[in-house]
Amino acid sequence: MTVWHASEELVRTYADGRLDRARAASIEAHVIACAACRALTARASDRDRLDRIWTEVTDAIDRPRRTPFEALLVALGVREHVARLVGATPSLQVSWFAAVGLSLGFALVAAHGSTRSVLAFLVFAPLIPLIGVALAYGPRIDPTYEVGVAAPLRGFRLLLIRAGAVVVSSILLVGVGSLTIPGVGWKAAAWLVPALAVSLSALALSSWIEPTYAAGVVGFGWVTLAVGSPLYARGAPILDRIVAFRLEGQVAFAILGVVAAVVIAARASHFDVAHDS
Amino acid sequence: MRGAERSDVELLEAVRADPQALRSLYDRHAPWLVMRLSRRCSDPEVVDQVIQDTFLAVWKKPGAYQGRGEVAAWIWGIGIRRLIDHLRRRPTREVLTHQEEVTVSAEEHVLLGVEHGDLAGALESLSPELRAVVQATVLDGLTTREASKLLGIPTGTVKTRMMRAKAQLRGELA
């Protein structure tokens, strides 16, 4: 066994980078195996620097891990804090997508049966992004709502980011599903414009009332209109008889969507105020 | 400090359950690691980042320590490899400006020699390029590939320089 140990002075010279190679290598080899000389290096160290690095280490350990969804968003080029905000959206959770997928599955199975059930699918489809928007934001359902109110990010921007993410993802989901419906051609996409229009309308309305209520009102309005509107041309295929799925209905919904978007932009500041109800 | 009486191996086993254990390991091993890495990389910011990465790796995978040899040697292995990763990830521009300095910095951040007089003298007599290769492979325990990344030279060059260094040392010490 060696009885060689580094002197405190030698370690200090080494720490300052002033030691020649031969002796520096000796110290380096020795320190690996000698706790006493390691303690000497600790005494010759810059405490502040070590504390600073340690803070970084503990910060990195305490940082919550990214969920797979957040990781995906970051990989797609979304900035990290935005990814976290979007990832915390209640209606972007796995449970939400599972529920949507399941009900969409049932609707699609039904839609393969008859034209009447295709109609049911078309009426049902716009409700998915609508409910998603309702559950994207607001004091009742958002676990990060309190944080959001206190955050320097404007509530309006948060709302747009989240609603946008929800609408895009649910429309993609429903869109893929609607492609599988046979024999209805472009009509399978007839829900698309109404879906955007009702989602935007609900958003616009939620500058006055709580998002869940806004979605309820708009959703009820949509179903009533779609099912209860006057029927055209008796005897024609059922999809051609419902105004919402005819060309004039589609145009009307496109206009409604634009109007809603204008209202949202005009009332942007109202989204920053917390709704008490 | 409670961790002071525990051995490195015991601390390592406790790292995941006991936050104090990592702190104790850090207090014991960060100081010399900072010094040793600083002799191989002149940018303190890179060294700080490497130290941070190293202890994060210790925290994440304490089980990677095989139970053989010194814990300090294992930590050094992580540290020097992280340093290589960092140097490799540097922007191309910086690497290019470093290119002309390679021989200088190799001499600068690579050291060699042993207390034993003859050997130390023999090693000192090696050219900086040869000494850098001996340093990286023999003393720092790197593979040829890792040494080539650290020194910024092709693996073939590492091998030929190592052969030349051995031949020269053999001649000096004979």
The string of pLDDT tens digits covering residues A28-59 is 888 988 889 999 999 999 999 999 999 999 88
**Does residue B118 surpass a pLDDT of 70?**
no
pLDDT for B54-97, tens place per residue? 999 999 888 888 888 889 999 999 999 898 888 877 654 333 33
Closest partner residue to B111 (CB to CB) among A25, A38, A49 is A25
Do both B6 and B73 map to the same domain? yes
CATH of the domain at B56: 1.10.1740.10
B81 vs A183, more confident: B81
Average pLDDT, chain A: 78
Name, in order, each residue with C-beta under 8 angstroms of A272's C-beta and a sequence gap of 6 or more: A154, A155, A156
Do both B22 and B76 map to the same domain? yes
Residue B75 lies in domain: 1-89
DSSP A117-153: HHHHHHHHTTHHHHHHHHTTSSTTT-TTHHHHHHSSS
CB A20 to CB B113 under 8 A?
yes
Residue A182: per-residue pLDDT: 66
Mutation site for B-interface testing, chosen from A53, A62, A65 by largest number of B Cβ within 10 Å: A53
pLDDT for A224-253, tens place per residue? 888 776 665 566 666 677 777 778 888 888
B155 CA to chain A: closest CA distance, Å?
Answer: 24
CB A42 to CB B23 under 8 A?
no
Distances (CA, A) of B101 to B97, B105, B152: 7, 6, 11
Q: Which of B54, B89, B124 is the last residue of a domain?
A: B89
Q: Which of B37, B56, B89 is the last residue of a domain?
A: B89
pLDDT tier for residue B3 given thresholds of 50, 70 and 90: very low
Residue A113: per-residue pLDDT: 64
Q: Does A53 touch chain B (CB under 8 A)?
A: yes
What is the distance between the alpha carbons of residues A158 and B66, in angstroms, rounded to a whole number? 48
Name, in order, each residue with C-beta under 8 angstroms of A88's C-beta and a sequence gap of 6 or more: A142, A143, A144
Which of residues 68 through 107 in chain B touch A, CB cutoff 8 A? 70, 72-73, 76
CB A44 to CB B139 under 8 A?
no
**Does residue A220 surpass a pLDDT of 60?**
yes
Contacts of B70 in chain A (CB under 8 A): 32-33
Residue B52: per-residue pLDDT: 94
ipTM of the complex as predicted: 0.72
By the 8 A CB rule, do A125 and A171 touch? Answer: no
B42 CA to chain A: closest CA distance, Å?
Answer: 10
pLDDT for B7-32, tens place per residue? 999 999 888 888 889 999 999 999 99
Mean pLDDT of B96-113: 35
By the 8 A CB rule, do A204 and A260 touch? Answer: yes
Closest partner residue to B31 (CB to CB) among A24, A29, A41 is A41
Residue B156: per-residue pLDDT: 92
- Domain total of chain B: 2
Do both B74 and B4 map to the same domain? yes
Do both B79 and B4 map to the same domain? yes
Residue B101: per-residue pLDDT: 36
What is the distance between the alpha carbons of residues B30 and A31, in angstroms, rounded to a whole number? 12
